[in-house]
Amino acid sequence: MDKSWIDSKNRNSEEYRRKVDEFLEFAYKDKTEDSRIYCPCCDCKNRYFVSKVDAKMHIIVRGFYNKYRVWVYHGETYNSQQTTSSFGGTSDMDTDDNMVRMVQDVFGANNSHDFGLEDDFVGMDEKTRRYMKILQEAECELYEGCKNFTKLAFIVHLLQLKVLGSWPDNSFTLLLQLLVKAFPHAKLPSSFYEAKKITEDLGFTYHTWDVCPNDCMIFRGEDSKLKECEVCESPRYKPGGKQIAAKQIRYFPLKPRLQNLFLSSEIASLMKWHEKERTDDGVLRHPADSQAWKSFDNKYSSFASDCRNIRLGLAADGFNPFRTMNISHSTWPVVLIPYNLPPWLCMKQSNLILSVLVDGPKAPGNRIDVYLQPLIEELVELWNDGICTYDASSKQMFNLRAALLWTISDFPAYGNLSGWSTKGRYACPYCGSTTRSLWLKHSRKFCYFGHRIFLPPNHRFRKLRASFDGTREYGNKPRRLSGSEMYEEVREVLTDYKKEDIKKRHNGEFHLPSDCNWKKKSIFFELPYWMDNLVPHNIDVMHTERNFMENVLSTILGIAGKSKDHLNARRDLKEMGIRKALHPTLMASGKERILPAKFTMSKDEKLVADNTISHEQGLGDQQI
C-alpha cells in the first residue's frame, strides 16, 4: 500500500483524510465496526487499543507514527524479501501487549497459524523451535472475540495470581480444570504442571539448590546427593523429620534471558543503540563512552565486531526483605545490567536481570564466590562458545556472546567481590600497599590521609599545613595496578569457592603473609578476559553520596551519635599535635572542655559550657 501520505505536513487536506479512511478500511477488513485496534498515532505508537472513531481522530490531530512502515498490527505481513523492520513502540509495555508484539514481530500479524517452522527457521535447535512454537500460539485470542488476553498472557496472569495468593498446586489444577470446562475453545492447560512447562520453555524459570549453612559448597551436580558438607561436615537439612534445607540459593539461567532480549524487534534494535545511534563526541553519557569500554573493544576486536554482543555489569548488595529493621537478616540478590541499551533504558527495573538470590539470614561475605559459580560458568560459555539466537529486527540467527565488564557495589561488598580487604591499614584498593593510614588511639579506628597526592603538582592545598595534617605534600599519586599485575599478586592466594582451598583454610593449613591485604583470589579471574578489564570493580554513587553527605551534615548540625566531632576525636587531634585550638582543655573540676569548631552552627557559648564532658565519662553523653 502507498505510505507516502504518512509524512504529509498538511493533515487537514482532503487527500490525507482519504488516506486515513483507506488505512482504517484496511485495518478493519476482518473486524467488526465496534472492534478496537492498536492506535498508530505519534503519541499512542501502537500501545493502546482504541475505537475506529478515536483512531481516526488521533491520526489526524497527532499524526501517523512515521517509523511504523510495516503495518503488522493492522493486517499487513512482511514481504519475503524484507529482512529488517523499523516500526514504533516503546519498551514500557504491559505483559499482554509485549507478548502480542513479540509474536507479531517474528511471525507477522495474520499468518502465525499456518507458519511453517520447518521451512522458515532452518538451523534452529529443538529447544529454540519449541520456544518459537509457543510464541507462535501466543498470538491467538483466548477465545473468539477476546480483546483483553492472549492464551499465553492469560496463563502468565494465572501463575502470577497463584504466587501472590499462595495457592497450593492441587487447588490451582482444580481451577484450570474448571476453566477448561467453562471455556472449551480457549485450549488452556488442564494442570499446573502443563502451565509451568510452557513458562519453562520460554525461559521463565530458576534452579533451587541447597547450600551448606556455612557457605562452603552448593549441593548440585555430582554433589547433589550428599547429606552433609564435604568441608565442614555441617548437615544439609535442618533437624527434624522432614528434609528442610538449612540454606538455599536460587539461580536464574542467564542464556534464555539474553535470548529474550532479541525476540522483540524493537528491543533487538535498541540492543544495537550503543553502536548505531549513540553520539560519539567525547562526552560521557553512556558506558560506551568510557575508556574502559573502548579499551575492551580494542583488546577484543572480534567480540566488538558484532554490536549485538552484550556487555554486562554486575551489582550485589544485601537487604532485609521483611522490613523489620530490628531483625538481623540479609538476603543477597545479584543483578546484571545489559549496557547495550540506551542510558534511559538500561537502568530501568524492567531491563535488570536477576541472576542469583542468596537466602539469609547471614550475608555470604567473602564466600559469595560460592554462589557465583553457576553464573561464572555461563559467562565463560557465553564468551567462548556463545549461543545461537534469533534476532527479530534482522530476521536472522546469529551467535550471541556476552562479557562482564565490571561490578558495582558499596565499599564492604567491594571487598567481598574483589578479594581486597576494605578494612585495616591498607583499605584503599587504589593506593594498595602505599595507603597512608594512622591508628587513632582514642577513637579506636584507622584514619586515612594523604589525599592531596591526587591534586595537581602546583595546587595551593599541597602547601597548606594547618588545614590538613600539619605537613606539606610533595608526593605523586600511586600508579594503579593492571589486571595482570593484580593476578600475579593473588596467584598464590587461596580461593573461597573451591572445596580444596576452603578445606585448607578450615584446617588451618594456609596462612596469609602479614603484609598481604588480599583475603582471597576472586572467582572473576576465571573469566578469560577479566585481567584485561580496565576498571573491574566500582563503588556505586548512591552509597558514596549518601554516606559523605550524612557525615558532613551530622557533623555540622552536631547530631549526637552521628557527628564525627566528639571528645575522642579532639583527644586524637591532641595526640597528633595538630589544630591546637580544638584540643580539649582540662578544667579545675576534672572535666574536659571542648570549644566549638568554626563549622559549628550554634554561637551559644553557654550551650558549649553546659555540655562539657568529664574525663571519666568516655563516649556516653557526648554532645557539643
515 and 433 in a common domain? yes
Pairing label, strands 437-440, 387-391: unpaired
The pLDDT of residue 621:
36
498 and 427 in a common domain? yes
pTM of the complete model beyond 0.85: no
* Last residue in a domain, options 57, 89, 121: 89
Residue 11 lies in a domain: yes
Per-residue b or e along 204-224, where b marks 16 or more CB atoms closer than 10 Å to that residue's CB: eeeeebbbbbbbbbbbeeebe
The pLDDT of residue 217:
92
d(Cα 164, Cα 262) in Å, to the nearest integer?
29
546 and 524 in a common domain? no
Please list, in sequence order, all residues whose beta carbon lies within 8 angstroms of the beta carbon of residue 603, skipping any fewer than 6 positions away: none
Residue 284 lies in a domain: no
d(Cα 174, Cα 349) in Å, to the nearest integer?
34
575 and 524 in a common domain? no
CA dihedral 56, 57, 60, 63 (to 10 degrees): -90
The DSSP code for 495 is P
**How many domains does one find in the chain?**
3
Structural domain for 445, as ranges: 417-528
Angle between helices 169-182 and 192-201 (to 10 degrees): 90
| N-term to C-term CA, the chain | 80
Residue 125 lies in a domain: no
d(Cα 423, Cα 446) in Å, to the nearest integer?
9
* Last residue in a domain, options 33, 59, 89: 89
Residue 4 lies in a domain: yes
580 and 511 in a common domain? no
The pLDDT of residue 254:
94
The DSSP code for 382 is H
| Cβ burial, residue 90 (10 Å; 0-12/13-18/19+) | exposed
Please list the alpha-helical segments (H only) found in 219-359.
Answer: 255-260, 265-270, 273-276, 291-299, 301-304, 343-346
Q: How many CB atoms lie within 10 A of CB 239?
A: 7
The pLDDT of residue 129:
63
Sheet with 218-219, side-by-side order of all strands: 218-219, 207-211, 248-251, 353-358, 332-338, 310-316, 402-409, 537-539
d(Cα 621, Cα 354) in Å, to the nearest integer?
45
Q: Which of 147, 1, 15, 136 is nearest to 71 (CA)?
A: 1
Place of cell 534482522: 394
Residue 473 lies in a domain: yes
Residue 111 lies in a domain: no
Per-residue b or e along 9-42, where b marks 16 or more CB atoms closer than 10 Å to that residue's CB: eeeeeeebeebbeebbeebbeeeeeeeebbbbbb
**What is the residue-wise DSSP string for 545-597?**
HHHHHHHHHHHHHT-TTT-S-SHHHHHHHHHHT--GGGS-EE-TTSEEE-PPP
The DSSP code for 520 is S
SS3 content of the chain, % helix, strand, coil (to 5): 40, 15, 50
Please list, in sequence order, all residues whose beta carbon lies within 8 angstroms of the beta carbon of residue 111, skipping any fewer than 6 positions away: 77
Residues in the chain: 624
Angle in degrees, CA 546, 311, 248, rounded to 5: 70
* Residue 45 grid coordinates: 505508537
Pairing label, strands 445-448, 437-440: antiparallel
Residue 157 lies in a domain: no
* Last residue in a domain, options 475, 497, 528: 528
Residue 338 lies in a domain: no
Q: Which residues pair with 557 in a beta bridge?
A: none
450 and 517 in a common domain? yes
* Residue 430 grid coordinates: 587504589
14 and 83 in a common domain? yes
* Residue 574 grid coordinates: 591532641
**What is the residue-wise DSSP string for 161-215?**
HHHHHT--HHHHHHHHHHHHHH-TTS---SSHHHHHHHHHHTT---EEEEE-TTS
Residue 3's Cα: distance from chain center in Å?
Answer: 41
Q: Provide block-wise average pLDDT over 10 residues at a time, the chain (624 residues).
A: 80 88 87 81 81 88 83 66 33 40 41 37 56 60 71 74 81 87 80 80 83 92 90 90 89 91 85 90 90 93 93 93 74 94 89 91 91 96 90 85 95 92 90 90 91 92 89 90 87 88 82 79 94 92 86 87 90 90 87 83 51 40 34
Whole-Å CA distances, 317 to 92, 143, 336, 414, 542: 26, 45, 12, 10, 12
